[in-house]
Amino acid sequence: MIIRNASFEDVPFVAENNVKLAFESEGISIDYEIALKGAEMLIENESMGFYIVAEKDERIIGQIMVTYEWSDWRAKQIWWLQSIYVVPEYRRKGVMRAMVDKIKEMALRNDVPLLRLYVYEGNGNAMKTYEAMGMMKAPYLMYEMEVEQK
């Protein structure tokens, strides 16, 4: 298994995995073309973030998107782990842990003190996985507000 930064050639696989992830984790259907455009935009603009992928036998078997948050309290970036997906036949085989370990190494090199993620409240399996990796439930709730597009 190879853990590496995603390239533009990986975008179709990342988008396909994001469609599967949305349905599997939240029961929602997202449009593949929009997911494709979103992944392309991130790959083209590293200031927004990056993807880490796990590859085996020239196939993408897992992915994590990393995005940035500026912490004025720390005067440092916090990295958010998002779009975490491992194809079903490779789950519970260390794929996610290997990707997170790679991200942790990168975070140390970049003086990033904290990794965060959010999880859909009904996704108990993911919560168990994150806790088994040493992540702790943070004392925050998330709120959101849609902004009307004109």
Residue 118 lies inside a defined structural domain of this protein = yes
For residue 39, the one-letter residue type is: A
Q: 94: pLDDT confidence band, cut at 50, 70 and 90?
A: very high
The pLDDT of residue 123 is 87
- The pLDDT tens digits of the residues spanning 58-91 come to 999 999 999 999 999 999 999 999 999 999 999 9
In a domain, 28, yes or no: yes
Whether 18 and 39 have beta carbons less than 8 Å apart is answered as yes
pLDDT at residue 149 above 90? no
**In 3-state terms, what secondary structure has residue 49?**
strand
pTM over 0.75: yes
Residue 143 domain-assigned (yes or no) = no
* SS3 of residue 144 by DSSP: coil
Work out the pLDDT band at 135, boundaries 50, 70, 90: very high
Q: What is the CATH number of the domain that holds 78?
A: 3.40.630.30
- The tally of domains found in the chain comes to 1
Integer CA distances (angstroms), 71 to 45, 68, 74, 78, 143, in order: 21, 10, 5, 7, 18
Domain range for 24 is 2-132
Residue 138: inside a domain: no
Classify residue 137: in a domain, yes or no.
no
End-to-end Cα distance, the chain: 46
Per the document, the length of the chain is 150
pLDDT at 57 over 90: yes
Would residue 150 count as lying in a domain? no
Average pLDDT taken over every residue of the chain: 95
Cβ atoms within 10 Å, residue 146: 5
**Could you tell me what percent of the chain has a pLDDT over 70?**
100
pLDDT of residue 122: 86
